[in-house]
Amino acid sequence: MKKLAKSKLFEVWSIIAKEHELFVPVEQEGESVNFSLWQEGEHVNLDHLKTNVSPKQIVFPQTETYLKFKTTGKKLSLENVGGKQAPYVLFGVRPCDAQSFALIDNVFLTEPVDRFYEERRNKGILVSLACSNPEETCFCQAFGITPGEAPQGVDVATWDMGTFLLWKPQTAKGESLTNQLNGVLEEALAQDEQDCQELQQDIQQKLKDLPLAKIDPKQITGDLKEIFDAKIWDEYSSRCLGCGSCTYVCPTCHCYDIRDFDGGKAGERFRCWDSCMFSEFTLMAHGNPRKTQKEKFRQRFMHKLVYYPNNNEGVYACVGCGRCMDKCPVNMNIVKVIKKLGGEKA
């Protein structure tokens, strides 16, 4: 293990930024924090637990142009402009958000592979930061995530030890980045590693005291049709505005639409995030198979809690970050659905 003095973070970021695009949690106007491209003078906030939007926007951008086209007379020319060109480092990702990448990988890296997404994932180095102080809306442990550790696939795991970050490379890309920073990183002492173990134990104890500690989707019983026909969908969907806030802040939602911008003799084809909560989602030439908000609302939660785990060896399409609890304008969220379906320990 290595350790990185916080007083040297600027130096580290400067070194990384010479060869990579560096994305860090940046505090913006209105005190919101989001992952943004690092620049000297930015207010980087590693203490803020949850960014406003998850870092999935780095590997799966909210909008992405695939190609540009133009016509000259009867001739049509196409230009491929999609994909990620520069290598990048994503620094300070929380374990729940890091775990969400594995879920999105399962969608985009399964045949037929999404080549633009694959390119972005391959060019990235992921540096996680353990959650020393989980918040009241956190329930990642319900999905098998340990906030004091880094999930598989993280290249470098770090822990906030007060005046320094403990630094542990976990992959070949993580080792390469560590070697690049050898002039700044120091060797960790045995006492540092012992302190880290105590920190992890402290985090586990804090989890037990959180308000959502008893959330457990595995407690949801009943066959698929029974859950599908449950009265909860009438009751809860009547309050849903269909605004899509929950899907846009969710680290695991991955639905998108493909549109053309027609500028006359030139235009663009682009991908943009979509939401199963929107009225035109699943709209086809013959009409929409999900006409009511109840059907849209039910689809969102059935997908995350029933369909996805049924088809993916019990893995749920939620990482318990709690952003949907923070952002829903009518206080409706997945925790209320899980509880109503019986997903809570006694």
Mean residue pLDDT across the chain: 94
- Cis-peptide, bond into residue 112, ω within 30° of zero: yes
Confidence band of 83 (pLDDT split at 50, 70, 90): confident
Question: Among 79, 78, 83, 89, which Cα is nearest to 61's?
Answer: 83
Q: What is the pLDDT of residue 29?
A: 77
Q: What is the pLDDT of residue 16?
A: 97
Question: Among 181, 165, 163, which Cα is nearest to 129's?
Answer: 165
Q: What is the pLDDT of residue 300?
A: 95
The residue-averaged pLDDT of 47-64 equals 94
Name the H helices within the chain. 9-19, 56-59, 95-108, 115-122, 172-180, 190-208, 224-228, 232-237, 245-249, 293-302, 308-311, 323-327, 334-340
The structure's pTM equals 0.93
pLDDT above 90 (res 328) = yes
Q: What is the pLDDT of residue 345?
A: 87
pLDDT above 80 (res 202) = yes
Asked which of 74-83, 137-146, 336-345 is least confident by mean pLDDT, the reply is 74-83
Structure tokens, 346: 């006694």
Those residues whose C-beta lies under 8 Å from the C-beta of residue 96, and which sit 6 or more positions away, are 131, 138, 140, 145, 147, 251, 319, 320, 321
Task: Compute the distance between CA of residue 190 and CA of residue 192 in angstroms, rounded to an integer.
Answer: 5
Q: Computed from CA positions of residues 135, 105, 255, 269, in that sequence, does the dihedral angle turn out positive or negative?
A: positive
Q: What is the pLDDT of residue 30?
A: 67
Confidence band of 263 (pLDDT split at 50, 70, 90): confident
pLDDT above 70 (res 33) = yes
Q: What is the pLDDT of residue 346?
A: 81
pLDDT above 80 (res 82) = no
Each residue's pLDDT tens digit, 102-161:
999 999 999 999 999 999 999 999 999 999 999 999 999 999 999 999 999 999 999 999
Q: Computed from CA positions of residues 194, 131, 153, 21, in that sequence, does the dihedral angle turn out positive or negative?
A: negative
Angle at the Cα of 49 from the Cα atoms of 46 and 50, rounded to 5 degrees: 115
